Each structure stands twice: as structure tokens, then as C-alpha cells.
Amino acid sequence: MVAIACDSCGKKKPAGTRHTDESWILGYDVEIETPNALNHSIRFLDHWDDRRVMELGAVHFCSVKCRDAFVRRSRAA
């Protein structure tokens, strides 16, 4: 069993929470480095997908507030 935690505040997603739970947000934070550039991209899915939570670059948020805080911190970096 995989334990999911919010990447902003650290709150744990309750075990057995249905994928239809609209409060949790799944996205991807990906950096691609080439010899000439570094690209940083943050994308969010329109719904939670349990099958994709362990994919490379996946980020998890318990609320829109935590998602927005993560995006603000990413812009500052």
C-alpha cells in the first residue's frame, strides 16, 4: 500500500479514499534539461487518478490552497 502525502503541507491522504474525492489534486512537476536550456513545467490533471500517483514527477495536493502555495514557491525558485 502506498501512502500519499500533500507535497505542500504534508497532510496524509486517508487510506481507502475514493478516487472521486474532489479535494485531492494530482499533477506533474517536471524539469527537462538540455545542453542549451532548462525547462520547468507544472501541469494538473482534471481529476484524481489512483493509477498515476507513482509516475515520475507526480505531485499531490490536499486542496487548491496547497496547490496554489506550491505554484507560488515554484515561481520564486
Q: Is the dihedral of CA 23, 26, 27, 28 positive or negative?
A: positive
Residue 25's pLDDT is 96
List the pLDDT tens digit at each of the 77 positions of the chain: 789 999 999 999 988 766 555 689 999 999 889 999 988 899 999 999 999 999 999 999 999 999 999 999 987 65
Residue 11's pLDDT is 96
Q: Phi/psi at 33 (nearest 5 deg)? A: -110, 130
Residue 61's pLDDT is 97
Residue 18's pLDDT is 62
Q: Is the dihedral of CA 31, 7, 45, 71 positive or negative?
A: negative
Residue 20's pLDDT is 53
